[in-house]
A and B are shown apart, each in its own frame.
Chain A
Amino acid sequence: MSAGSIVARRNTLARALLYAVLAVFAILYLMPLYVMLVTSFKPLEEIHQGNMLALPEEWTFAPWREAWGSACIGLECSGVHGYFFNSIRIVVPAVLISGLLGAFNGYVLTKWRFRGHKVVFGLILFSCFIPFQIVLLPMARVLGILHIANSTTGLVLVHIVYGIGFTTLFFRNFYESFPDELVRAAKLDGAGFFTIFFRILLPASIPIIVVTIIWQFTNVWNDFLFGVSFTSGDSAPITVALNNLVNSSTGVKAYNVNMAAAMVAAVPTLIVYILAGKYFLRGLMSGSVKG
């Protein structure tokens, strides 16, 4: 046997081992999702038989319908759908406004530099490192003064304030490498501050917009601490509702309904990843300047 084929065989072996390890980890990570999905499609009696990993013998959508429309959360028995739309109402404006403000900050901090811009950026950056818990009490006070405590509007404000640090960081670093000559050319062409931003910079910022949306959407959607602290009852986001749903079941635990509700809560972030990821294009800047 030649030396070459020994090396080749050793290589295949190493490859096989590598894939085996990867497969084990993939299965490990996918297991909870699998259990959640199969459980959510099983009737309760089947779950009580105890075989968690088995596929449903009898497929049923009833748990999903119940989770969406009739499960009891606290005293209210109308499912999680109201809270789902609460979360949408929070996440859409929070992501859009914090993203836009971050983009503006990035634009000003790179293309309209002023004395002390580094200090300002440093302070904004610092807000990324402030733990949630620290701002709970001051924020509660602010929301109280503004009369938007216990409302989705209040949560929108909280998430915008908390998000600006990150969105500014993203956009500033992106615009840092955006050629200044484009801004100068636009100035000579007669474009003003806002025109340059909306017509020149923003259309060329798709990659960083997508990054920002993914980041902000997941953070805001998955937030539990702010939701549970600043809202109650009808205005709670879905993460809080899910918690309440699981805790408020009396008597027999409806695992299938809980799982279905958890899936409902998880699906939007998954969709954002799948959709936005597709638009995560590279090389949008090529052609504007040399190279």
Chain B
Amino acid sequence: MSFLHIHNVHKRFGETHVLKGIDIAIEKGDFLVLVGPSGCGKSTLLNMIAGLDAISEGELLLNGERINDLHPSRRDIAMVFQSYALYPSMTVAGNIGFGLEMRKVPKAKRREAIQRAAELLQIENLLNRKPAQLSGGQRQRVAMGRALVREPQLFLFDEPLSNLDAKLRVDMRTEIKQLHQRLGTTIVYVTHDQIEAMTLATRIAVMRGGELQQLGTPQAVYDDPNNLFVAGFMGSPSMNLITARIERHDDALVARIESPAGDVTLPIVRDRAALETWCDRDVILGLRPEAITDPASANRQDGEIFEATLEVALVEPTGADLYVVTRLGGRNINARMRPGASLSPGQSTRFAFDVSRMVGFDPESEARIRDDAAAAMGTAAQTETLGQNA
């Protein structure tokens, strides 16, 4: 049985249906990241887990116990808020210890726990300060200390890094990850930043418009997206989405893509059976920029490389990589090449496509076209186990 079950949870504010039946289950020690564009309902879901918003329909189970109607303070959950929400009139020590004080923990024990949390977060020297005297990063640490000190069953983070500047954000991200590894706690973390989601999560739940789009490990969500939205949302630069026609050439199934220099045909190797039913119809192909490279840096060991000559439209060096833009299927396509490649716009060069990483989507429903439909629903297996508990 899973540690945290979110079972068919709905949220309605009057007429508006904010969450439309969310099913998520995670194990103890998991780091679940809820990610999606603003307004997708991820923060609402988090508030419902915390008990700050009522659940309109469905069930919430923590460690086997139904917590739907439990008061927030009884759920054994701690939360780090986006605005930190430090109590302005209390010192840092007072802020961290407030939850323990409310739970009537004796003073000596409280002081010990505060000290321990402060050491863990390296804020011992700030304990007597007021929140107003702290920098953004320090406030963030205090907010985390306030959650840590109670040693709850579950931690909730509501976009905790969004108020920090870019550099500090990356540092704190690493620290949160280290903290999770060291303490082995279970965390539910909300963000709209897909890089944060990828780096921190053990499980990612991609949400849109109150619906769960995909639940899975970061790698699964990245390599094996459920639909066009997930494919486009995760990854930066985002996945190339190319319109192509599926055709049969003798025995081989290929995708024919228009390009100014003449059509490119790429062999279909992944989800072959499913894509075969799309013969002589248009699909949308997805290929990550790192799956389109120069022939020299192509991964011939794990991938299946297919080469084509295309014209370079634009070159974007980032230092570590060289992004080369070309035209395919009427769109700009990003390819990641080695930084040394000397290319200039207008020049023709060889592009290596790793067709083993190519995925197909239904242009109408935007759903993924794949062979194993059961595995496709990353959530299907989860839903099943949930059903037993309901």
Binding site for B on A (CB under 8 A): 179, 181-182, 184-191, 195, 199-200, 203-204, 283-290
Contacts and interface: CB of A to CB of B under 8 A. Distances in A.
18 contacts: A184-B79, A185-B146, A187-B72, A188-B52, A188-B77, A188-B99, A191-B98, A191-B102, A195-B102, A199-B98, A284-B89, A287-B88, A287-B130, A287-B131, A287-B139, A288-B86, A288-B131, A290-B84
Given A179-B83, A289-B85, A184 B52 contact: yes
Given A187-B52, A189-B98, A203-B89, A289 B72 contact: no
B314 to A, nearest CB: 38
A287 B89 contact: no
Contacts of A187: 52, 72-73
A32 B50 CA distance: 63
> What 4 A-B pairs are tightest by C-beta distance, nearest first?
A287-B132, A203-B89, A190-B102, A288-B88
A contact face: mostly helix, strand, loop, or mixed: helix
B88 A185 contact: no
Contacts of B51: 188
Nearest to B97: A189
A290 B81 CA distance: 11
Q: Which of A179, A181, A185, A204 has most chain B Cβ within 10 Å?
A: A185
Interface string B114-148: 00000000000000001111101001000000100
B78 interface: yes
A288 B83 CA distance: 8
Contacts of A179: 83, 85
Given A286-B132, A287-B130, A190 B103 contact: yes
Contacts of B84: 288-290
Contacts of B132: 283, 286-288
A115 to B, nearest CB: 12
Contacts of A184: 50, 52, 72, 79, 81, 85
B163 interface: yes
Contacts, number: 85
Contacts of B136: 290
Given A200-B87, A289-B85, A188 B103 contact: no
B83 A186 contact: no
Nearest to B89: A203
B87 A287 contact: no
A232 B4 CA distance: 71
B300 to A, nearest CB: 50
B82 interface: yes
Nearest to B136: A290
A185 B81 contact: yes
Nearest to B99: A189
A189 B73 contact: yes
Nearest to B94: A199
Contacts of A188: 50-52, 72-73, 77-79, 99
B85 A288 contact: yes
Contacts of A199: 87, 98
B221 to A, nearest CB: 30
Contacts of B134: 287
Contacts of A289: 83-86
Nearest to A178: B88
A204 B73 CA distance: 23
Given A287-B139, A288-B131, A289-B83, 18 more contacts: A182-B85, A182-B87, A185-B79, A188-B72, A188-B77, A188-B78, A190-B102, A191-B73, A203-B89, A204-B88, A283-B132, A284-B88, A287-B88, A287-B131, A287-B133, A287-B134, A288-B85, A290-B84
